[in-house]
Amino acid sequence: MTKDPQAIVVVVDDDEAVRSSTRLLLKSVGLPALTYSSAQEFLDNHDPQQPGCVVLDVRMPGMSGLELQQLLNLRGAIIPVIFITGHGDIPMAVEAMQHGAFDFLQKPFRDQDLLDRVQRALEKDAVNRVQMREKHRIRERLDSLTPREREILDLMTRGKPNKVMAADLGVSQRTVEIHRARVMEKMGASSLAQLVRMVMDLDQASLATETGAANLAAR
Amino acid sequence: MTRDTPPPEELWALLQRLTHVSRLATMGEMAAGIAHELNQPLTAIASYAQACDWLLARGSTDTAEIRDALQQITAQGLRAGEIIRRLRNLVRTPDTHRVLTDCNELIQELKGLALTDARVHNVRLDLDLAPSLPQVIVNRGEIQQVVLNLLRNAVEALESMPPERRHILLRTGATPEGMVEIGVFDTGPGVDRKIVDRLFAPFVTTKPSGAGLGLAISRSIVEAHRGTLRYRPEGTGGAGFMFCLPHAQGGA
């Protein structure tokens, strides 16, 4: 298992003074930060594997912060986004939150308000990444099952007893037991309950991504 | 002449008062942009100061970094002051003097404000200023007010357009007759045919919250300078407003 590189706070704002002052503020409390002057520059340079969070100005010439957020959503990005808004931008902030922004903050902001949000966003990102890796592992194990084992797993998670499975598949109960043991072993599950949870987590995750993308595409 | 017609000097004073009121109203409409523009240096100042506080609290010995931040605070304070100075110039009490003026300079003075207003409404504003314009003799504040009125109208007209089709061009040039022409062209829906004929009449408006005085006052100002203000539909479907002013040698 690979260890994530150190988390970085990415600041995207078109105003040079806002960018460098925010970077210094983050640095002064020991948080490494990286700045980009436009949404495009962020897209061109940001590595999705890089853990951290984004502090994003809602109004920028060219691609706005909201447009960047939608693009990131379409790409299935998991990095939490904290929006920075000016006065009177509340409708924009609401829209950002509806599209899954982590939080928002009004300019000018108190250091503690920014730092608290950044801290929580970084924690959220770390949890997201662990969950993503875990799902990835389950997916890999699932893919390693033979078609017959996959069939057995589906019946197991639907709570069918061995006797019924044997009848359904036209094999002996002994054969079912052997497959069953192999499924548990390959999936790394120590109980039927754990196995069911793994499969459910995966289903929900893939379902959520699909609906999210479909919703956005339909807009 | 009837008794109902006020003497010209009274009309003149009325126009000036209306111009000032219109200018204040424009500033009100542009408040979001102004607030946004001021917020940038304020945000930077607050962040630099808080960063210095953290650095000192943690016993940082990097004095160069702290001094740099302090210098930035000064620079951003001055930047905020400059924004306010520009605003004050635009809302100062009416000045009746007409002076020899380069129209490009007038536009440069209000450029920052106009660009911010365009930006907060997601509008692209381009300036195309003719390199050498004949000078005009004008009341600077009044002419700036006309330009701002036209720009505000364009920004509002573009609100109904998708962001990638929100474009304004502000252009200056000299006409073959030697007049100075200033034009504002947008890619909005254009002026409704039903009101085109009454466009410059007072109290005619298509804005939900408009008083319908902007264009009427603008035309009065331009005509008081012996110029003309007219509307031209653009080929793209948008609106074009342009006004001409006689050059100084023309004896205004």
The answer, for A196 touching chain B at a CB cutoff of 8 Å, is no
For the stretch B41-99, pLDDT in tens is 999 999 999 999 999 999 988 999 999 999 999 999 999 998 888 777 767 666 678 88
The answer, for A95 touching chain B at a CB cutoff of 8 Å, is no
Q: Which residues, numbered 187 to 226 in chain B, qualify as contacts with chain A under a Cβ-Cβ cut-off of 8 Å?
A: none
Nearest chain B residue (CA) to A15: B40
pTM as predicted = 0.69
What is the layout of strands, in order, in the sheet containing B124-129? Answer: B124-129, B167-174, B180-186, B239-245, B228-233
Write out the two tokens for B78. Answer: 């001055």
Assess whether pLDDT exceeds 90 at residue A21: yes
Cα distances (angstroms) measured from residue B224 to each of A32, A154, B8, B142, B166 = 61, 86, 11, 10, 32
- Chain B residues near residue A15 by CB distance under 8 angstroms: 40, 44
- Chain A residues near residue B45 by CB distance under 8 angstroms: 21, 108
Position A212 scores a pLDDT of: 43
**pLDDT-based confidence at residue B166 (cuts at 50, 70, 90):** very high
What angle is formed at CA A203 by the lines to CA A199 and CA A207, rounded to 5 degrees? 175
Write out the two tokens for B2. Answer: 């009837």
Q: How far is B204 from chain A (nearest CA, A)?
A: 29
CA quadruple B159, B160, B162, B165: dihedral positive or negative? negative
Q: Do B47 and A22 touch (CB under 8 A)?
A: yes
For the stretch B190-205, pLDDT in tens is 888 877 777 777 666 7
The answer, for A21 touching chain B at a CB cutoff of 8 Å, is yes
Q: How far is A8 from chain B (nearest CA, A)?
A: 18
- Per the CB < 8 A criterion, the answer to whether B190 and B154 are in contact is no
The answer, for B79 touching chain A at a CB cutoff of 8 Å, is yes
- Per the CB < 8 A criterion, the answer to whether A125 and A80 are in contact is yes
Position A207 scores a pLDDT of: 47
- Per the CB < 8 A criterion, the answer to whether A108 and B46 are in contact is yes
- Per the CB < 8 A criterion, the answer to whether B245 and B218 are in contact is no
Position B1 scores a pLDDT of: 46
d(CA A12, CA A33): 11
Counted across chains A and B, CB pairs separated by less than 8 A come out at 84
Q: How far is A201 from chain B (nearest CA, A)?
A: 40
- Per the CB < 8 A criterion, the answer to whether A28 and B55 are in contact is yes
d(CA B19, CA B36): 25
Q: Do B40 and A22 touch (CB under 8 A)?
A: no
Nearest chain B residue (CA) to A112: B50
Nearest chain B residue (CA) to A84: B43
For the stretch A33-89, pLDDT in tens is 999 999 999 999 999 889 999 999 988 877 888 889 999 988 888 899 999 987 667
Rounded to an integer, the average pLDDT of B120-129 is: 90
What is the layout of strands, in order, in the sheet containing A33-36? Answer: A33-36, A8-12, A52-57, A81-85, A103-106
